[in-house]
Amino acid sequence: MGLAATRSVALLGVRGHLVDVEVHVAQGLPAMVITGLADTALGEARDRVRAALVNSGCPWPSRRITVNLAPADLPKHGSGYDLAIAAGILLASGALPARAVTSLKGLVLLGELTLDGRVRGVRGVLPAVLAARGCGARRVVVAEATGSEARLVPGVEVISVGSLAALLAWAGGGSLEGTVADGGAGAPWGVGCALGTGGTSDRGRPEGALPGTAVSGPTDRSASPMRVDLADVRGQPVGRAALEIAAAGGHHLLLIGPPGAGKTMLAERLPGILPDLERAAALETTAVHSVAGLLEPGAPLVTRPPFQDPHHSASRAAVIGGGTGFPRPGALSLAHHGVLLLDEAPEFKVDVLEALRQPLESGEVVIARAAGTARYPARFQLVLAANPCPCGLAAGADDRCRCSPQARRRYLARLSGPLLDRVDLQVDLPAVSRFDLADGSSSESSAAVAERVAEARRRTASRAARTGAGRFRANAEVPGHLLRQHWPLGSAADPAHELLRRGLLTARGVDRVLRVAWTLADLAGRARPSAEDVRVAAAYRLAGARS
């Protein structure tokens, strides 16, 4: 009988906090009490842990068991504490041989238990292991299904187990090879679901890989790059050019045009011409996707820019983040270091559009709760697509539009000034002509465009390093004062200043025009933008404004 402690991790947003799991087994009426829990899933831990222990052949102490998860004021959600609680009970009840006691001491354990003693993966393993390492932990135990995700963190030994029995066998000195749970003799439910991570399908997880709460929700389109190519897009030279500039400079983009012009088609092809994520960015993005339960077990690291296109009917929580209980990352955060497309943007609820402004400014979503504040990173490239009017026909020579002038104005005005103010590139797309669509010759491929984009970004980065402006991956990231201080343009900037004087651009607008001008120069391989580059950049900025 006695006292023991193991450790686990609680997540607040993508930040992990170490949790001490203290277990006391004492004389008294047989009972089990868990304190320091937040939600019902944790309350159910009691039943799961007992069933898992009994079905793994472990003795269940007929004593009074008290489990305390500390600190108590840290909100704790989900089922990930099961494994740490089970190990704590075994340690405290003195049921383990000395060697196993030594192995389990000081371990951080992350995993849900099934009633038959298998270990299921949980969300957020990457940020949890990062937090554990930050607190000095050198070893963590996770479910097999999340083993490769945990191993993305260097400097931590990862023990991945398929079952509680496998954990105990390892702790007792056995090897993990072949320590596969039999799933409990006669267990009526799908045995072997959580075992093994092989057989990963192209999209999403292998069937039944992480049953129950562990993984659910939309398929992660960012993990498996979309197989769409710019070669499929006919005509639209202005739209294609704008897409390339957006990719090269990281600029936000607005596409306006009639239905069928290819707005969605173009927007979906933006991630494909962006460079691979750098290691640090890849880990940040992976952490968000991990918390959302969207990683593929076989290849957990998100290395390509993610793409998110929430439907305009989606809830605020789905787009921005939040929801009841555990605050979830929304599409904004799942698009971190990637592309967020708001297709049919004026159809989105006004409060959703308004809620975009803060993350666009700060690069993160802050979800305040009584229990604590969750922060999710949200540094994405925004693409807005819109019809010119509610019926969509008010473009070019088309005169079938019956929308009143007020209705037209109101429609695009839904994209408020402060939001549009952050969109450097605004493009009017004409309807695709029948001639273009019938054209059999193929257009330039995404791979060819991506090469120019990468070259332009290399120029940006080396200029930033050379001039001491800082470390920037894209022109859109350079703050206005650094832009003017380090990369002065002299008289080439005159066209922008002229628009400022005439009240057509704000001071902030001038900075945005100059950033795009730098991107044009970087794409063309010019050392600095010409007055013509500035004029072209200003035209991109002002195009949408006349609608």
Ligand X SMILES: Nc1ncnc2c1ncn2[C@@H]1O[C@H](COP(=O)(O)OP(=O)(O)O)[C@@H](O)[C@H]1O
Interface with Zn ion, residue 391, by CB under 5 A: yes
Residue 403 binds: one of ligand X, Mg ion, Zn ion, none (C-beta under 5 to 8 A by kind): Zn ion
Q: Cα separation of 439 and 418, whole Å?
A: 40
Check binding of 224 to Mg ion (CB under 5 A): no
Shortest distance, CB of residue 428 to Zn ion, whole angstroms?
A: 15
Cβ-contact 25, 63 below 8 angstroms: yes
Strand partners, 64: 26, 31
CB 516 within 8 A of CB 424: yes
Q: Is 264 in the site for Mg ion (CB under 5 A)?
A: yes
Considering the complex, state which of residue 174 and residue 260 has its C-beta at the smaller distance from ligand X.
260
Measure the CA dihedral 254/256/260/266, to 10°: -20
Q: Residue 257 touches which of Zn ion, Mg ion, ligand X, none (CB < 5 to 8 A by kind)?
A: ligand X
The whole-angstrom separation of Cα 328 and Cα 349 is: 20
Q: Does 262 sit near ligand X (CB under 6 A)?
A: yes
Q: Which residue has the tokens 């170490």?
A: 18
Instruction: Give just the sign of the alpha carbon dihedral 529, 532, 535, 541.
Output: negative
Nearer to Zn ion, 394 or 464 (CB): 394
Strands 157-161 and 321-322, bridge-based pairing = unpaired
Site for Zn ion contains 394 (CB under 5 A): yes
264 binds ligand X (CB under 6 A): yes
Tokens of 53: 């222990």
**Window contacting ligand X (CB under 6 A); options: 12-20, 232-240, 300-308, 397-405:** 232-240
Detail the DSSP E strand segments found in 182-267.
253-256
Asked if 331 is part of the footprint of Zn ion (rule: CB under 5 A), the reply reads no
391 touches which of Mg ion, ligand X, Zn ion, none (CB within 5 to 8 A by kind)?
Zn ion
Look at residue 459 and give the partner it binds from Mg ion, ligand X, Zn ion, none, a contact being a CB closer than 5 to 8 Å depending on partner kind: none
Q: Residue 514, interface with ligand X (CB under 6 A)?
A: no
As a dihedral over the C-alpha atoms of residue 47, residue 53, residue 57, residue 62, rounded to 10 degrees, the angle is: -80
Strand partners, 16: 11
Any idea how long the chain is?
547
Q: Of residues 37, 195, 389, 505, which one binds Zn ion by CB under 5 A? A: 389
Scanning residues 122 to 181, which ones bind ligand X (CB under 6 A)? none
CB atoms within 10 A of CB 508: 11
Q: Is 257 in the site for ligand X (CB under 6 A)?
A: yes
Among 115, 176, 401, 500, binds Zn ion (CB under 5 A): 401
Contact set for ligand X, span 418-447 (CB under 6 A):
432, 437
State the residues that interact with Mg ion by CB under 5 A: 263-264
State the residues that interact with ligand X by CB under 6 A: 233-236, 257, 259-265, 385, 432, 437
